[in-house]
Amino acid sequence: METTFKTVQSSKVTISELMLPSHSNFSGKIHGGYILSLMDQIAFASASKFSGNYCVTASVDTVDFLNPIEVGELVTMKASVNYVGRSSMIVGIRVESEHIQTGKVKHCNSSYFTMVAKDSDGKNASVPGLILSHYDEVRRFYNCLKMIAVRKDKKDHEEAFDYKSEEALSNLSNYNVRVEIC
């Protein structure tokens, strides 16, 4: 079977939305959960556009909220597929907000969503290969490879680490914690 390939460009999606008072939290800033919901939507759109299939979110990499988003600002999210596996894709998302009166733009966060393509029976579907056309796309692909390796190392560490050992428990004295196991 011949593998098809698609460019990163074919996965690019941009959405913009004006932030309303109904999107704010108790401190008057835009609620992080609302932003995460928008990020999930654009990750779905990018992955589905690229794969031609319905896609589900498998994981979300670290989301660091770098700058608060204010009511009345225009939020723009840009997403593209940065990595593909057999049925999975890592979608990179950049979130910026713009103060409409001044034009000042803030980088609010970036994150990576791992999306999995599904066929009509709900089984994992193959995705096209990825054509990298610019050095930035190559850089993003390599960053995804590093992210996958770190995830694997973490999983291996969690499986192998003996947290019940005397050594592990005694090392906890270096932290602001007290162990009281019954």
Per-residue pLDDT, 160: 78
Q: Is residue 150 part of a domain?
A: no
Q: What digits encode the pLDDT tens for the residues 47-68?
A: 999 999 999 999 999 899 999 9
170: in domain? no
62 occurs within a structural domain: yes
Q: What is the CATH number of the domain that holds 67?
A: 3.10.129.10
Please give the pLDDT value at position 2: 66
The alpha carbon dihedral of 26, 31, 34, 36 has a sign of negative
In a domain, 30, yes or no: yes
The pair of structure tokens assigned to 152 is 């694997």
Residue ranges of E strands in 11-99: 13-18, 54-60, 74-84, 88-98
Domain that holds residue 101: 5-132
pLDDT at position 100, please?
96
Residues of the chain with pLDDT under 50: none
Residue 82 lies in a domain: yes
Q: Is residue 106 part of a domain?
A: yes
End-to-end CA distance of the chain: 59
**Total domain count, the chain:** 1
pTM (two decimals): 0.89
Q: Residue 83 class from Cβ within 10 Å (0-12 exposed, 13-18 middle, 19+ buried)?
A: buried
Tens digits of residue pLDDT in 79-100: 999 999 999 999 999 999 999 9
Q: With respect to residue 114, please indicate whether it lies within any of the assigned structural domains.
A: yes
